[in-house]
Structure 1
Amino acid sequence: MTNSYVRENINTSRKRMEVACLDMLQFHWWDYSNPGYLDALKHLTDLKEEGKIKTLALTNFDTEHLHIILENKIPIVSNQVQHSVVDMRPQQRMAELCQLTGVKLMTYGTVMGGLLSEKFLDTNLSIPFAGPPLNTPSLQKYKRMVDAWGGWSLFQNLLQTMKKVASKHGVAIPTVAVRYILDQSSVAGSMVGVRLGLAEHIKDTNAVFSLNLDEEDLNSITEASKKGRDLMKVIGDCGDEYRA
């Protein structure tokens, strides 16, 4: 990965956005066997020092390679990873490293494309047309995560637990789902997707900021979550689902 190639692409982004400095550059790399990611990040660090990038971040890097990057003095501020009450992998090896280094986690998949909602509570997807359709790529993806974690019946148990917590606080299941992850170690923020004109989630998302889960809430959700399989053992570390 050459310096000129990296500079050319960053300059293209700056020109398209009509800014002198990119606020954040999130970097992803598919193939760990190709060490070019370190070269690219070193070139990006040079651009940061020149004032063309404000902060450097990663997307879907695992703990081992985040550690390698930090050992090479690359100033990473965050790593964007999949994290939900079903997928608690980031709270294993990744969170420990983040605590030691100050790197923060930005999470996605926190409401699992909408599966973590009242819409899918008390439904049976094994019966054709009996439940809501899995009509988006996200729903289909996270249904596979549910299957890997423990299946639909166990997921219903989790939804029922979260519904009890949500009803206690007068909010919806997605609000509880996001708040629970925001309360986890090293998590700085969580992204909730929208479908403009179809599902914008403004009310539920705003409610996250005033929701305080107490110890009883956290313990009940954690207990329900732990009834499923450890996805670290099933899939691997953060981002490994994209590199299998």
Structure 2
Amino acid sequence: MADLTLNDDFTMPQLGMGTWQIADAQAPAIVRDGLDAGFRLVDTAAIYGNERGVGAGVKASGAFLTTKLWNDRQGDAEAALDESLALLGVDAVDLYLIHWPSPAQDRYLDAWKALIDLRAAGKARSIGVSNFLPEHLDRIIDATGVVPAVNQIELHPRHQRRAEVAYHETHGIVTQSWSPIGQGKGLLTDATITRLAAKHGRSPAQVVIAWHLAKGYSVIPKASSPEHLRENVAAQEMTLHEDDIAALDGLDAGARIGPDPQAM
């Protein structure tokens, strides 16, 4: 499994396991299944309500662990992270993200300053953001001189976020894709994707995950069955041809599934 080098010189597995909408009670077993399948990165968030279960699942595994600061705690990041660490059962996380900029609150800069302090205190090895647009990134970087290691954004073949990806590349920020296979809302039945799946003898989900990996993104597909977890890990074995990637690049339609970052 490939690793990506972050701008703080730490590394992060390129492929990770998402846990959104996995219930706390089911999380330990599902996370263990994911680790058994070969995942080495597990992504959760305070708002998911499953940090205790995720922590139980990753216990003593050495997996890379990400969690996130929810919007209503942007003025109280240290206490919020302490609560997450207690639920996860760890002294520090590998990556801590501001979940949304929530610009109407106008607290994300204060939250970023707090994350810088939390990194210095050893409670988060790396720090980053989620769902930030270039204007939000400009503001926190200009004010602090600290560039996020990661920006986790909605990204899939129908919503490719090219301006944001170009910004990340210019600033040395890893692009991490959430909802990478489109939350099952029609993407996996797209004619181009099903054609490529048939061509390679793979599933549509594997084609899409392989596209993210080929683009150099970190990607965190969510699955709960052992079969789908193994399938997602096996997507790393795929090699897409240049014309395959070009065909998938051509699916971009600006079709957002999740919320508008300006409205959260």
- Counterpart residue type for residue 110 of structure 2: D
| Gaps in structure 1 of 5+ consecutive residues | 122-158
Go from structure 1 to structure 2 and tell me whether the alpha carbon gap of 1:203 and 1:9 turns closer, same or farther (over 3 Å shift).
closer
Provide the secondary structure at the position in 2 that maps to 1:175. helix
User: Residue 213 of structure 1 corresponds to which residue in structure 2?
Assistant: 240
Q: Deviations over 1:192-237 (max 9, x none)?
A: 11234xx7513421331111111121222333x15xx445xxx7xx
1:130-181, Cα deviation, whole Å (9 max, x unpaired): xxxxxxxxxxxxxxxxxxxxxxxxxxxxx22222211121101111111112
Of the three residues 71, 94, 98, the one matched with 1:27 is 98
Q: Equivalent residue of 1:240, what SS?
A: coil
TM-score, normalized by length of structure 1?
Answer: 0.68
Please list every run of 5 or more consecutive structure 2 residues that lacks an aligned counterpart in the other structure.
Answer: 1-71
Residue of structure 1 in register with 2:221 after alignment: 192
Give the letter for the 1:192 counterpart. Answer: P
Report the AA paired with residue 148 of structure 2: I
SS in 2 for 1:243: coil
What secondary structure, in the 3-state scheme, does the structure 2 residue paired with 1:162 have? Answer: helix
Cα pair 2:74 2:107 within 8 Å, conserved: no
CA contact under 8 A between 2:147 and 2:173: conserved in structure 1?
Answer: no
Amino acid at match of 1:52: K
TM-score, normalization by structure 2: 0.63
CA distance in 1, matches of 2:116, 2:108: 12
Match of 1:42 in 2: 113
Q: Is the 8 A contact 1:27 1:58 kept in 2?
A: yes
Alignment of 1:6-17 (within 5 A): 6-17=77-88
Q: 1:128-167 counterparts in 2 under 5 A? A: 159-167=190-198
Amino acid in structure 1 at the alignment position of 2:171: T
In the other structure, the counterpart of 2:43 is none
Matched, 1:169 2:200: yes
Conserved? CA contact 1:24–1:55, under 8 Å = yes
Q: Which protein has the bigger helix share?
A: 1
CA contact (8 A) 1:24 1:56 kept: yes
Change (3 A) 1:3 1:204: closer
More strand per residue: 2
Aligned length: 190
